[in-house]
Structure 1
Amino acid sequence: DLYEILSTLLYTRMLYPGSKQAALADAQSFLEAPRFQAHQIYRALDVLAQSSDFIQAKLYQNSLKLRPRNHRVLYYDCTNYYFEIEQESGDRQYGHSKEHRPNPLLQMGLFI
């Protein structure tokens, strides 16, 4: 049940942020324990990914109904993801790390 899986992931993300495996383990303590397994979570995420553009467009349209946007101001946030590997690989390259880590990293930016 896609709804059950996604709602469980949402609740566990708010209560106990962690991995999908951890979410499944944490959800066992809920009043209604999940009736799905870890591999079904990943299938549900594949289904969700196929509709990602549609979902994001609808969320944006609905958010405009709640609060108009000032499109003249953009906010930018940037973060690094580091990888515990010895060699650079693809997009994972050595770069400046705030934590002074010697590992390859991947930088991601977000405009709002």
Structure 2
Amino acid sequence: MPVVINTNSAATIASNNLSASNAMLQKSLSRLSSGSRIVNAADDAGGVAVAQRLTAASKRAGVAAGNISSGLSFLQQQDAVFKTGAKIMERMNELQGLYRDTTKSSEDKALYTIEFDKLKT
């Protein structure tokens, strides 16, 4: 008994074309739904690499900005400390001048000394 194979080559070609069209449609729909030209690395390997480098550079810039902000806060704090120290030194200098004034009584000089000693600590 002979075996006969019937093949409809036109239907096979049409089926292959339909499968390819469906694959391209799915790819287009995934791009549209994500809003991105590159959905996965297979779409554009070079584009993915560039995007990753830009993302890394953006993150580094964000970290650098945070570091600069922290440094600025530290410097502002140190500036306030130095200003306070300068005010204390000015007051100590003023107390020294008042202490040397010959018209001041011993009670006044004792009070100046107490304040001066408190400012030293």
TM-score class normalised by the smaller sequence: under 0.3
Q: Which has the larger share of helix?
A: 2
Q: Which has the larger share of strand?
A: 1
* Higher-Rg member (1/2): 2
User: 1 or 2 for the larger relative contact order (CA 8 Å, sep ≥6)?
Assistant: 1
TM-score, normalising length: structure 2? 0.20
TM-score, normalising length: structure 1? 0.21
